[in-house]
Structure 1
Amino acid sequence: MTTIETTVARRGVVFVRAAVAAQTVAIFFQALTAGLLLSTSYGELLHGVGARVMYGASMLYVLAAVLAWRPGGGSPRPVLYAGGFLALASVQVVLGIAHVPSVHVPLGVLMFGLSVLDLGRRRR
């Protein structure tokens, strides 16, 4: 592996780490705004904005994983994780719009846990 290939691979790994970190922070923000949703008048607005940011962060994770895999020569495994997470985020958005909290809330907790685990795996 040449120096240029090593640099590209390293940048890909850093981009994936940053995307997973952004996703994790966005999901944590969603947990905070879910509480505000129940107790304040502006909670719904914040939760709606946070949902868009979280979904964008999930798409960014997919992009980062693909860029780290194809041109960077990395493993395709993060693409599978990112794609699965984007699928969960899509289900989460649909459930939120449909007002199904009995599934929306536990799925949000699961997504936060999975994102934290993935972030921890990227830190090693």
Structure 2
Amino acid sequence: MTAPMIAKQRSLTFLQVAVALQTAALFFQATTAGLLLVTSHGEMVHGVGARVMYGASMLYVLAAVLAWRPGGAAPRPILYATGSLVLASVQVVLGIAHVRAVHVPLGVLMLVLSVLALRGTGRRGGRP
């Protein structure tokens, strides 16, 4: 294997790890949303999870850019990662404002999109 191929493989692996982390954080958020209804400490756990999820979304953008760098993977994951970060930003604002009618469906949409992106990063070329 040549050095550029090894670097490309590492960047794709980093992208896969970043998407997997984001997907896990979103799944954790879905779980802790249920805790909000039944426990007194659910809001704190959900708030901490929100910060982790937002950080994971930023990491996804970084990983997509590093995977794309000239000679790397396709630039399409950058679009997906940026869209994910925008949705995460909207989600945080809606959560703080307690607009559950939009916050909950958007969270479900984000989880589905993240699972699809995770499925797509396993394909040849890292294209979700």
Q: Same fold (TM over 0.5)?
A: yes
Q: State the SS of the aligned residue for 1:62.
A: helix
TM-score by length of 1: 0.96
- Shift of residue 38 of structure 1? 1.1
Large movers: runs of 4+ above 4 Å: none
Note if 1:24 corresponds to 2:49.
no
Number of equivalenced pairs: 123
2:111 alignment partner in structure 1: 112
1:46 alignment partner in structure 2: 45
> Which structure carries more helix by proportion?
1
For the structure 1 residues 27 and 72, does the alpha-carbon distance in structure 2 shift closer, same or farther, using more than 3 Å as the test? farther
Q: Tell me if structure 2 keeps the 8 A contact 1:62–1:83.
A: yes
What runs of 5+ residues in structure 2 fail to find an aligned partner? Answer: 124-128
- Shift of residue 71 of structure 1? 5.5
Q: Tell me if structure 2 keeps the 8 A contact 1:23–1:61.
A: yes
Q: State the SS of the aligned residue for 1:41.
A: coil
- Shift of residue 70 of structure 1? 1.1
1:78 alignment partner in structure 2: 77
Note if 1:55 corresponds to 2:35.
no
Percent identity over the alignment is 70
What runs of 5+ residues in structure 1 fail to find an aligned partner? Answer: none
Note if 1:90 corresponds to 2:92.
no
Calculate the aligned-residue CA RMSD, in Å.
Answer: 1.1
What is the distance in 1 between the residues matched to 2:110 and 2:3? 36
Note if 1:33 corresponds to 2:32.
yes
